[in-house]
Amino acid sequence: MERHRKTARTSFFILSITGTLVVLIEVAMNLWRTSLCTSEGCKAVARYARYGDITFLIPGALVFLLLAILSRPGAARYAQYRDKLISTILCAAIASEGFLVGYQAFRVHAPCWFCLGVFALFALLGIIWLMSGHWEVITGFAGFSVVLALFYLILPVSNTGDSLGDHIDKNRLTLFYSSSCASCEEIENLCKECNIVLNKVDADQHFDLLEGMNIYEIPVLFVNDNETKRVLIGKTKITEFLSGNGDKNSATP
């Protein structure tokens, strides 16, 4: 029995180190504006995070690292207190994953494979910790289930009346874009996620029109609000408008 627990603790340590390395690699890749995950769900999670991917990458790396330090082989001093701390951290980590998983499943409707991979690592750590006799980790899985269930109840699969597109679809939106423009693609994806009707026009074919208005940057969004016509230039202003956070009464000349 003791040998079984020792094996489980060693596996726990190795998996914690693996999680730390994976998240740190993602942090490094983010500095180079790339990612281990290229799915739409990954882009959506990063887009809506207040400070981007770093919002959850740094805490995730710290959690994995702390678990690795606390579970390292040969550290027998204060073992009882260390095990309780590991259980507490692990329960909190697993429960918090319910938010990210729920957000992907019930809000953006697209999987972030990196986030799901991190959740799988935490889930495996929880199972290994259970196998070593720490049944209190069940609380973490219960917390995950509750958070996921609440997310489903608050944000059901079929959004009704509160979609960002509800107050924008009545406008005629025309996006000047280019197939090689990453920001243009992000704007298109945002419109798809929010069910916003959008007309697309190839900016390369209408360069003279844009140049005549001294516009040399894309994406460009033309908004036709009956008697009010607006021109929004650049990803930031367009995203603010589509998200309902921009100044709806201002226009870019």
**Whether 79 and 132 share a structural domain:** yes
109 and 222, same domain (yes or no):
no
For residue 203, is it within any domain? yes
200: confidence class by pLDDT, cuts 50, 70, 90: confident
Residue 181 lies in a domain: yes
Mean pLDDT is lowest, of 164-173, 178-187, 192-201, for 164-173
Read off the CATH number of the domain in which 131 is found. Answer: 1.20.1440.130
Q: In terms of residue numbers, what domain contains 121? A: 2-154
Q: The CATH number of the domain where 179 resides is what?
A: 3.40.30.10
Side chain identity, residue 226: N
Whose tokens are 């027998």? That residue is 76
pLDDT tens digit sequence for 85-141: 999 999 999 999 999 899 888 877 778 899 999 999 999 999 999 988 899 999 999
Same domain, residue pair 169 and 188: yes
Indicate the average pLDDT of the chain.
82
- Structure token digits, residue 77: 């001093």
Whether residue 170 is found in the same domain as residue 114: no
For 16-83, what is the HEC assignment?
Answer: HHHHHHHHHHHHHHHHCCCCCCCCHHHHHHHHHCCCCCHHHHHHHHHHHHHHHHHCCCCCCCCHHHHH
Q: How confident is the model at residue 44 (pLDDT cuts 50, 70, 90)?
A: low
Calpha distance 87→124 (Å, rounded): 13
Structure tokens at 115: 């986030």
d(CA 170, CA 16): 51
Same domain, 120 and 178: no
d(CA 202, CA 177) in angstroms, rounded, equals 5
- Any domain includes 251: no
Residue among 73, 92, 82 nearest 13 (CA) = 73
**Quick count: other Cβ atoms within 10 Å of Cβ 129?**
26
Q: In the sheet where 220-225 sits, what is the strand order? A: 199-202, 172-177, 220-225, 228-233
Domain boundary among 154, 178, 201: 154
**DSSP letter for each residue of 89-125:** HHHHHHHHHHHHHHHIIIII-S--HHHHHHHHHHHHH
Judged by DSSP in three states, 159 sits in coil
Say what the pTM is: 0.63
Domain total of the chain: 2
**Are 128 and 177 part of one and the same domain?**
no
* Alpha carbons 92 and 138: distance in angstroms, whole number: 11
Q: Looking at the structure, do residues 105 and 186 belong to the same domain, yes or no?
A: no
What is the tens place of the pLDDT at every residue in 4-26?
778 888 999 999 999 999 999 99
Average pLDDT over residues 69-81: 79
Alpha-carbon distance 79 to 172, whole Å?
A: 65
Is 200 in a helix, a strand, or coil? strand
- Do both 130 and 188 map to the same domain? no
Alpha-carbon span 32 to 55, nearest angstrom: 17
